[in-house]
Chain A
Amino acid sequence: MTDPLVIAGTSFSSRLIAGTARYPNQQVMLDALEASGTELVTASIRRISLEGYSGSLVELLGDRYKILPNTAGCVTARDAILTAELAREALETNWVKLELIGDRELLYPDVEQLVHAADELVRKGFTVLPYCNEDPVSCQKLVDVGCAAVMPLGSLIGSGMGIANPTAIELICKRSTVPVVLDAGIGTASDAAQAMELGCDAVMIDTAIAKSHDPVRMAAAMRAAVEGGRLARLAGRIPRQRFAEPSSPQLGLVGS
């Protein structure tokens, strides 16, 4: 595996983490996940519908993907911790994408509760990947309590606004001692490429694929963008400069 993404000792060849929500139907979801090349997909933990216990997402996904359960919708550390423990029991995985929301409209993280919950879950043996806000201080606190990665938001969940604060993301990537996964707000392929060029180790995408006009095609686009952005990052871009510099040689011009 060349240039693998390594999180908590597990290697992935894909740097695209995909969500399973908001697809038009299950078949489109399966086809899009395949087209994306992802190896890690997220799932929520929800009450079964007692009216009819229908077939599960996990069975649909089969063994093809590693499943990363999330604590989406939780607003207290207690609920997030319980959800993580239920996820561990249901899926037999220690991995959890920790989401602790401080504002139901904006879906911004509650940093204080998030750090507290992350700390407790790490002590309980979880591999914690927290969805967090895009500031280097919060990310460092999460690293300090033992998170396996940090997942700063690009912009509001589901908004498609792209990376609102590229400077902050770049700073987080520069400082972080754990993988940085840009999570939330990606809208199209160029956003994903930008995340990788800024130094992110991976991106997490759900709505931008699932709600696009052609999710399977967008998934393929995102795959290419993540790979392209990563290659560009490794290649080392030219600096931005405020003046022109001709690319063709100045000597031997016709008529000179």
Chain B
Amino acid sequence: MMRLRINGAEAEVAVATIAELLAEQGIDPKARFLAVAVNGAVVRRTEWPMAALAAGDNVEIVRPFQGG
């Protein structure tokens, strides 16, 4: 288990990559209209299966929402 920050909240997860993290959070890694940043940098979806996460990483998982 390792401690990460996901969307502003501390979390303990047992995953190694972004794709695994998404799946563990109930999100289909192949879903469209999603984007992920780790430590302030966007990680492209083609890299999600490979991108390794480390303890203390700050992860943002976002999607389009209502807006003006």
Contact = CB atoms under 8 A, between A and B. Distances in A.
A20 interface: yes
**Which one of B8, B32, B42 has the greatest number of beta carbons of chain A within 10 Å?**
B42
Contact of B64 (A29, A45, A206): A45
Contacts of A82: 37, 40-42
Interface string A34-67: 0000000011111110100100111100000001
Interface string B22-65: 00011100001111110011101100000000000000111111
Query: Do most interface residues of chain A lie in helix, strand or loop, or is the interface mixed?
Result: mixed
B68 to A, nearest CB: 3
B64 A44 contact: yes
Interface in A202-231: 204, 206-207
A90 B36 CA distance: 9
Given A44-B67, A47-B8, A48-B63, A87 B27 contact: no
**Chain B interface category by residue count:** 20 to 34
A22 interface: yes
B63 A72 contact: no
Nearest to B61: A48
B11 to A, nearest CB: 9
Given A46-B65, A47-B7, A57-B64, A86 B33 contact: no
A89 B61 CA distance: 11
A19 B35 contact: no
B68 A19 contact: yes
Interface residues of A, number: 35
A89 B32 CA distance: 10
A45 B27 contact: no
A21 B65 CA distance: 8
A206 B65 contact: no
A86 B67 contact: no
A157 interface: yes
A167 to B, nearest CB: 25
Most buried by A among B33, B37, B65: B65
A135 interface: no
A127 interface: no
30 contacts: A19-B67, A22-B68, A23-B66, A42-B67, A44-B66, A45-B64, A45-B65, A46-B64, A47-B7, A47-B60, A48-B62, A48-B63, A50-B25, A53-B26, A56-B64, A57-B64, A58-B64, A59-B33, A69-B64, A69-B67, A70-B67, A72-B67, A82-B41, A85-B42, A86-B42, A86-B60, A87-B64, A90-B63, A91-B64, A206-B68
Interface of B: 6-9, 25-27, 32-37, 40-42, 44-45, 60-68
Given A46-B63, A82-B41, A207-B68, 19 more contacts: A20-B66, A20-B68, A22-B68, A42-B67, A44-B64, A44-B66, A45-B35, A50-B6, A50-B7, A50-B25, A53-B26, A56-B64, A57-B64, A69-B67, A70-B68, A85-B37, A89-B44, A157-B68, A206-B68
